[in-house]
Chains A and B, each alone.
Chain A
Amino acid sequence: MRRRRLARLPLVAAASAALLLTACGNGLLSEDKAGDSSSGPILLGMLAPMSGSSAAIGPYMKNGAQLAVTEINAKGGVAGRKLELRVEDDACDAKTATAGANKLVTQGVKVSVGGYCSGATLPTLPIFAKADVPMLIPAANSNELVNQHLPNVFLLNGTGTQQADAALAYLTKIQSARVAVMDDNTSYSKDIADLTAERLKQAGGPELAGRDSVTPGESDYSANVTAVLKTKPDTIYWTGYFQEGGLIIRQLRQAGYQGKILVADGSVDAKLIEIAGAKSAQGVLATMTPTPETIESAKGWIQSYKATFNSDPGPYSTQSYDAVRVAAEAIRAAGSTDGKAVDKALEALKDFPTFAGPLTFTKDHTLSRGGFLILKVSDGHFVLEDSLQ
């Protein structure tokens, strides 16, 4: 009995493989037809963290992008076709993101407008590249994303290099003498920390006091705090995400640290202040790309966002909104949804108006200027401290 069942196994396997193949074939075929017929909606895909450590950000990105899709559709869509947004959760995790990217590609998305955690976005690059899907990454900003010089990858956020430059410019401006840099060992965080430390080591300006990395996901960072404080810094630059950031800020203050604390854009979230406690978080500085509240021209936009989603727009909602608009503009200019043609159109884009200013991509597919600002926590909110102009 057992033997016969085993003998049938290869047969079953072959049959199911054949089934799968035909199913795939059908899928691809029908998708091609949809692409050719130039009717039906143009699909835009977005990977964003809807769960996991950065789950707070996903809805902001989704809503921002959806707002642009609705507006464009109300004006008749792109080249006579409507846009449609498909969102997949990447949970800020490489494995989930890869699965999500594959799903979006099989659904036939024409442009990807997502990407928040660099560590989760990096492994999706080859998937979208292989399917010739242009990527307009609104939030993730590790240099690794553009270092591979893939023709389909474009950053709508300042890079780690630009953020490190902004941090250094501000530290020099406030005449900080000794700066300690802490990261959380993630791709995004280490990138900014390494670049900042490199700049601090160069002669002149602030000096690098210490460098420490923590393991994310724990509660007690007192050992790290003690190690960093031993280097006697007057400013500490934390480049990781807000969960650990909040704990570290609180534990630094409890350990009696009086100096300045600067955090990077991954820590700019209301939860950071909640976790640290309003007292400890008071006066914390941040390097950040423009948020809706810090953009003068976004007043009307904030109102329509509030009216649509009944909540305040959070970080990266403007960038996601712009990503969809840039994608629509590129498809319009290319006159087709063919990936290669859209890539060309994106490269040729000149001074397209976005919230971060007129947009022209550099030859590395990054923003010509990062547009980083300095925010400061005041009475439980991040407010603009210095626009670094």
Chain B
Amino acid sequence: MTQLIWNGIFVGAFYALVALGYSMVYGIIKLLNFAHGDIYMVGAFAGFAMIGLLGSVSAAATLPVLLVVLVAAMLLSGAGGLLLERVAYRPLRGSPRLSVLITAVGASFALEYGMRLVAGPNPRVYGLRLEGSSVELLGARVSMQQVALVVVAVALMIALQYLVMRTRTGRAMRAIAEDSTASLLMGINVNAVISRTFFIGSALAGAAGVMAGAYYGKIDFLMGFVIGLKAFTAAVIGGIGNIKGAMLGGLTLGLLESLGTGWLGGQWRDVFAFGFLIVFLVVRPTGILGERVTERV
């Protein structure tokens, strides 16, 4: 049982990191960025390329090297998010929401199959793998690399929370979420702030991609698809547009999946996860933290 809960928390941390980007973009411009999962894939591949460049670093320094790679890949995937917003979404700002949604789906395919052209269809294996011993904790087997990844994920989430609540950019984001026209009139550069939002959300997804690559080892050009859907589900469960909601939603979804698999068997995992999405949409469409919807970012 504790093992199931730990598994759920660990997977949930990944979902939460990706769900944050979904939620921020939705909160600020009401766009469901369906290409967000593929930014996660771009991050994983950027990390893969970085490791290839660094090549012959000693295996003893795995963790510091990984942190460097992580930061570099976050910058790259953040830049990817910026570009995506500039090319695919900004020209359509003000057009009906359905057109933007369709563009997002198109952008998703463009990223997936673009990466296939660049990196090939075969799965790639990370040259740098997190290895570590594991300990028994309350009957669950917890490995050191899992703890390290959860710590990195939590640190990123705290940094984001600080950024949104305590900085000028964060205040501008919250203002645009309230009313973008009024913010424009008050002298906020709306386009720049939206770009920054995309950068931050994409960088978080890229971080999750690198962490998945280093932990699981295998990356491929379609890896963003399933996690994109799961992160979307997590964002809805937590209350889309709400940062704390995205974190909570990620953890909830991870736990639901883990416990559901333990209870019903592995083939029911996705049925269970997406079934819950439907239940939430019917019973509580605003998600767990939905009542705070006015403070979305």
Contacts and interface: CB of A to CB of B under 8 A. Distances in A.
A364 interface: no
Interface size class of B (residues with CB under 8 A): 35 or more
Contact of B212 (A219, A226, A246): A219
Contacts of B122: 55-56, 271
Contacts of B266: 182, 212-215, 221, 223-224, 227
Interface size class of A (residues with CB under 8 A): 20 to 34
Contacts of B226: 217-218
Contact of A215 (B3, B258, B269): B269
Interface string A187-226: 0000000000000000000000000111101111111101
Interface string A370-384: 000000000000000
Contact of A220 (B11, B125, B129): B11
A51 B123 contact: no
A274 interface: yes
A250 interface: yes
B99 interface: no
Given A217-B225, A222-B10, A250-B217, A255 B123 contact: no
A267 interface: no
A223 B217 contact: no
Contacts of A243: 123, 218, 220
B217 A213 contact: no
A217 B222 contact: yes
B38 interface: no
A185 interface: yes
A51 B116 contact: yes
A275 interface: yes
Contacts of B121: 51-52, 55
A275 B125 contact: yes
Interface of B: 3-4, 7-8, 10-11, 14, 116, 120-123, 125, 129, 134, 141, 143, 212, 216-218, 220, 222-223, 225-227, 257-258, 261-262, 265-267, 269-270
Given A222-B10, A246-B217, A275-B125, 19 more contacts: A213-B265, A217-B222, A217-B223, A217-B225, A217-B226, A220-B11, A220-B14, A222-B7, A223-B8, A223-B11, A223-B258, A226-B4, A226-B261, A227-B261, A243-B220, A247-B218, A250-B217, A277-B129, A277-B217
Interface of A: 51-53, 55-56, 182, 185, 212-215, 217-224, 226-227, 230, 243, 246-247, 250, 254-256, 271, 274-277
8 contacts: A51-B121, A222-B7, A222-B11, A227-B261, A243-B220, A254-B134, A271-B125, A275-B123
